[in-house]
Amino acid sequence: MSVSEMFAALQGALGQDQDIREEIRKVVQALEQTAREILTLLQGVHQGPGFQHIPKKCQKAREHFGTVRTQMESLKTKFPADQYYRFHEHWRFVLQRLVFLAAFVVYLESETLVTREAVAEILGIEADRERGFHLDIEDYLSGILTLASELARLAVNSVTAGDYSRPLRISTFINELDSGFRLLNLKNDSLRKRYDGLKYDVKKIEEVVYDLSIRGLNKEATIGGGGEK
């Protein structure tokens, strides 16, 4: 084979690779748009009247996740099944965002931490790497850390809306989450930096709870029976 023939073959391989990446990019853009729609919907819970419509917003968000599952099915067909990590960078960010959104919906519904398996089911992908397109553990953890920041914001806005029990429940949840992350030996630099931000979320929520305490509103919240979810 001549040098020209060798490079012609290489160009053919590069062209195929570029075609795959372009197809992936199109689906990822659609996923990003759906994620923005879900986020816009859920952001309404931070407004005063939004607390009264949490169940309705969660139901609507789950309908959007139906679109996510369809888009994920399309994404799975755009690259060879054994090359997940070769193209992983293309959908890593949006997948982490979708993990956060799924976790936020589950928290609003039940005030519990969603499992990786449950998130995978919501998104229409696998939890186990061996079964194909899956939810990487680090992507799951990154999404959960974003949830912590969102709940810190929700704790502050809860007080503004006159819901004094919710910050107490959020504080308990975030402290349990922090304890869980402390059990992990994180090697990923990006994930480690994200985790370092969790202590600021914990501190922010503790300040909210302390403020409620010195104003005597935490007792009112306890008497009130825990508030609405």
Range(s) of the domain holding residue 166? 136-220
- Binding-site residue numbers are 150
If we measure between CA atoms, which residue out of 170, 149, 146 comes closest to residue 158? 170
**What is the count of structural domains for the chain?**
2
- Binding-site residue numbers for Mg(2+) are 150
Instruction: Look up the CATH number of the domain holding residue 194.
Output: 1.20.58.200
- Whether residue 64 sits in one domain with residue 127: yes
pLDDT of residue 171: 96
Residues of the chain with pLDDT under 70: 218-229
pLDDT, tens digit, 9 for 90 and up, residues 161-172? 888 999 999 999
Q: Does residue 144 sit within a domain?
A: yes
Rg of the chain over all Cα atoms, to the nearest angstrom: 21
pLDDT of residue 218: 67
- Whether residue 151 sits in one domain with residue 127: no
- Whether residue 65 sits in one domain with residue 8: yes
- Whether residue 191 sits in one domain with residue 146: yes
In angstroms, how far is the first alpha carbon of the chain from the final one?
70
pLDDT of residue 21: 93
pLDDT of residue 217: 73
Q: Does residue 227 sit within a domain?
A: no
pLDDT of residue 219: 63
Q: Which of 135, 159, 189 is the last residue of a domain?
A: 135
Q: Which of 97, 116, 135 is the last residue of a domain?
A: 135
pLDDT of residue 226: 45
- Whether residue 193 sits in one domain with residue 100: no
- Whether residue 123 sits in one domain with residue 55: yes
